[in-house]
Chain A
Amino acid sequence: MLARIGLSDAEKDRLLGELEAILEHIARLQQVDTSALAETAQVGDLVNVMRADVPEEPIGAAAALRNAPVSDGNYFVVGAIQGAELDG
């Protein structure tokens, strides 16, 4: 609901099949014994890549709102959503 992806019935049918194939593939991957392998989150050897704390020109509200389905003045507008806040 939040993602606002519009799909036709034909697209839904096609994606249903594709999603099923993806889930089957993941299920097969989960059968592999990885207990002896280290977690791999990075494929390169980069470390300590940082940028200096220097502000640059932002794109501004007009550009930021260009793709917003609904906006009001400088704000994005979304349907009110209750009960989900980040714990921190």
Chain B
Amino acid sequence: MTETATRPAALGRYEVVIGLEVHAQLLTRSKMFCPCPADYINAAPNENTCPVCLGLPGVLPTINEKAVDFTVRTALALHCDIPPFTKFDRKNYFYPDLPKGYQISQYDLPLSLNGYLEFPVGGEAVRCGITRVHLEEDTGTMHHAGDVLQSATSSLIDLNRCGVPLMEIVGEPDLRTPEAAREYLVRLRQILTYIGVNDGNLEKGSFRCDANISLRTPGAQELGVKVEVKNMNSFRAVQRALESEIERQTGVLDSGGTLVQETRGWVEAQGRTISQRSKEQAHDYRYFPEPDLPPLRLDAAFVERVRATLPELPEARARRFQEQYGLTAYDAAVLTDTREEADTYEALVAAGVPAKLAANWQSGDVAALANEHHTPLQHSGLGSDGLASLLRLVEAGTINGPTAKELLAELYVAGGNPEALVRDRGLAQVSDTAELSALVDAAIAANPAAAADFRAGKQQALGQLMRAVKDATGGKADMPLVNRLLRDRLSEQ
């Protein structure tokens, strides 16, 4: 266990101890132990199957090299050690979603051990140990009967997902609050998507989390009775489930009761966990080494080759953005939230857009449009090259802010060349001092009351005069210049 952040839980009578287990599907094209396509979502049920993943007799599994590479990449990003020798084991489990009768997993010699993850919680840096990251295979999916055609006593089995590479990331019980558990998952998901091994979709189940939680008297060395919580398919659900579980366990302990070691499922609609099975019923998985798969010897050269493929990780990139581009910690965090976002930002700066201007537009209007149209900039009509041209026009003073906003919204959907559009439509900013001075005089003459109010000290009266000049130019006036000209003229006696 590494250095632990101990933020006391809201209910201070007990110390809360949380450890998370994450299962993340790897973004390989084929399955873990057979060459069936790994895409289980877009195929009709049971289409992507073969004798290996169907568990038919007489077949031999083979190890997907990419899955090993991705797991080692993850382990290195999480500061784990990569032992020189690793093997697969059979985890025996008799259930129809895994027709072999066992899951190929890793037991005593996993691909990696002893890492950690650092992340901020309420402005404070927290470090959580990573016990291990290992490789296994996913199960098929079961649809329990419910519709009219099916009697309530049967289940439908689809084995497309069976054998999809699954990485298990086991965290140490270092987390002390539901909020810290949530932030751990947010950062872990960010890293997995940054390094391109997982798509981070909690709702669809490609990134899944189970939590172990117990309470103990503050200062106690031994852990309390552990409850495993499942069925949480959003970050919010994880936090709420753990909060509800703390409340329940506190209630049991306060009333002199005893907690039982069990698995509980989070029921979103009811906002509480429900007992699924107690540990007395738990399986004896009878692990033994997988005789059909030769072990792996991953030498230092292999590990270094994988390390060289690691991109700059989000935390380091955010730090560099602050130093290199003079961004605030907040802006740097927003702009490095995803790798695509950070790449876009650096493309804008490389294309000659000043760092601060690029940051403001990207995290402001562009983010709002991406959200509104459910389309990131890279897939919009404008693209990051188009945005760079548009922002260069702003920086050069060719167009004003409001014109740029309107063009951005239009081009985001329709696409087009900002420079050509500004030229063809005559959208260039009016910043000719003589022309604007004449319009300023006309505005003062047409709005004598507003002019008098401003001269009498009412600052807000200037707005009406600014609008009059803006309208007279069809919205194209250089407004900071108009502001200065109006103030100059109105201060003359």
Using CB atoms and an 8 Å cutoff, list the residues of chain A in contact with chain B: 2, 39, 41-42, 44, 46-56, 58-61, 64-65, 70, 72-81, 83-88
Q: Is the CB of A50 within 8 A of B63?
A: yes
Q: Is the CB of A76 within 8 A of B156?
A: yes
Q: Which residues of B contact A85 (CB under 8 A)?
A: 95
| Interface-centre pick from A56, A70, A83, A86 (highest chain B CB count, 10 A) | A86
Which of the residues A55, A78, A79, A88 comes within 8 Å of B37, measured between beta carbons? A55
Q: Is the CB of B295 within 8 A of A61?
A: no
Q: Would you call B124 an interface residue if the criterion is a C-beta within 8 Å of the partner chain's C-beta atoms?
A: no
Q: Which residues of A contact B87 (CB under 8 A)?
A: 41
The smallest beta-carbon distance between B164 and chain A, in angstroms, is 12
- Chain A, residue nearest B35 (CB): A56
Q: Which residues of A contact B91 (CB under 8 A)?
A: 86
Q: Would you call B289 an interface residue if the criterion is a C-beta within 8 Å of the partner chain's C-beta atoms?
A: yes
Beyond A47-B297, A84-B95, whether A41 also contacts B155 by CB under 8 A is no
Q: Which residues of B contact A76 (CB under 8 A)?
A: 46, 96, 156-159
Q: Which residues of A contact B44 (CB under 8 A)?
A: 61, 74
Distance between Cα atoms of A41 and B157 in the complex (Å): 32
- Chain B, residue nearest A60 (CB): B47
Q: Which residues of A contact B277 (CB under 8 A)?
A: 83
Q: Is the CB of A49 within 8 A of B156?
A: no
Distance between Cα atoms of A87 and B94 in the complex (Å): 13
Distance between Cα atoms of A39 and B35 in the complex (Å): 30
Over the window 241-269 of chain B, the binary record of Cβ atoms lying under 8 Å from chain A Cβ atoms (1 yes, 0 no) is 00000000000000000000000000000
Q: Which of B268-303 contact A (CB under 8 A)?
A: 276-277, 281, 283, 288-291, 293-297
Distance between Cα atoms of A85 and B157 in the complex (Å): 14
The smallest beta-carbon distance between B238 and chain A, in angstroms, is 16
Number of interface residues of B (CB under 8 A): 65
The smallest beta-carbon distance between B437 and chain A, in angstroms, is 69
Task: List 18 interface pairs A-B (beta carbons < 8 Å), by A numbering.
Answer: A2-B96, A49-B63, A51-B65, A52-B66, A53-B29, A55-B29, A59-B49, A61-B47, A70-B154, A72-B149, A74-B158, A75-B156, A78-B96, A78-B154, A80-B154, A81-B95, A87-B228, A88-B21
Q: Would you call B183 an interface residue if the criterion is a C-beta within 8 Å of the partner chain's C-beta atoms?
A: no
Q: Would you call B174 an interface residue if the criterion is a C-beta within 8 Å of the partner chain's C-beta atoms?
A: no
Q: Is the CB of A42 within 8 A of B158?
A: no
Q: Would you call B62 an interface residue if the criterion is a C-beta within 8 Å of the partner chain's C-beta atoms?
A: yes
Q: Which of B153-184 contact A (CB under 8 A)?
A: 153-159, 168
Q: Which of B1-50 contact A (CB under 8 A)?
A: 21, 23, 28-30, 35-38, 44-50
Q: Is the CB of A80 within 8 A of B296?
A: no
Q: Is the CB of B291 within 8 A of A41?
A: yes
3 nearest A-B pairs in the assembled complex, by CB-CB distance: A41-B289, A53-B66, A46-B294
Q: Is the CB of B62 within 8 A of A41?
A: no
Q: Which of B137-145, B370-378, B381-389 contacts A (4 or more CB under 8 A)?
A: B137-145
Q: Is the CB of B46 within 8 A of A64?
A: yes
The smallest beta-carbon distance between A85 and chain B, in angstroms, is 7
Q: Is the CB of A79 within 8 A of B153?
A: yes
Q: Is the CB of A88 within 8 A of B23?
A: yes
Which of the residues A58, A70, A88 comes within 8 Å of B49, measured between beta carbons? A58
Distance between Cα atoms of A73 and B97 in the complex (Å): 17
The smallest beta-carbon distance between B451 and chain A, in angstroms, is 74
Which of the residues B21, B48, B155, B283 comes within 8 Å of A77, measured between beta carbons? B155
Distance between Cα atoms of A47 and B63 in the complex (Å): 11
- Chain A, residue nearest B276 (CB): A83
Q: Is the CB of A53 within 8 A of B96?
A: no
Q: Which residues of B contact A52 (CB under 8 A)?
A: 65-66
Distance between Cα atoms of A59 and B54 in the complex (Å): 10
Q: Would you call B234 an interface residue if the criterion is a C-beta within 8 Å of the partner chain's C-beta atoms?
A: no
Q: A53-B67, A77-B156, A87-B210 are in contact. List 6 more A-B contacts (CB 8 A).
A: A53-B29, A53-B65, A77-B157, A79-B153, A80-B153, A84-B93
The smallest beta-carbon distance between A25 and chain B, in angstroms, is 18
Q: Which residues of B contact A80 (CB under 8 A)?
A: 144-145, 152-155
Q: Is the CB of A61 within 8 A of B45?
A: yes
The smallest beta-carbon distance between B288 and chain A, in angstroms, is 7
Distance between Cα atoms of A81 and B98 in the complex (Å): 13
Q: Would you call B68 an interface residue if the criterion is a C-beta within 8 Å of the partner chain's C-beta atoms?
A: yes
Distance between Cα atoms of A54 and B64 in the complex (Å): 9
Q: Which residues of B contact A79 (CB under 8 A)?
A: 153-155
Q: Which residues of B contact A65 (CB under 8 A)?
A: 46
- Chain A, residue nearest B66 (CB): A53
Beyond A42-B295, A49-B62, whether A58 also contacts B48 by CB under 8 A is yes
Which of the residues A41, A53, A64 comes within 8 Å of B159, measured between beta carbons? A64
Q: Which residues of A contact B153 (CB under 8 A)?
A: 79-80
Distance between Cα atoms of A77 and B63 in the complex (Å): 30
Q: Would you call B150 an interface residue if the criterion is a C-beta within 8 Å of the partner chain's C-beta atoms?
A: yes
Q: Which residues of A contact B98 (CB under 8 A)?
A: 86
Q: Would you call B218 an interface residue if the criterion is a C-beta within 8 Å of the partner chain's C-beta atoms?
A: no
Q: Which residues of A contact B276 (CB under 8 A)?
A: 83
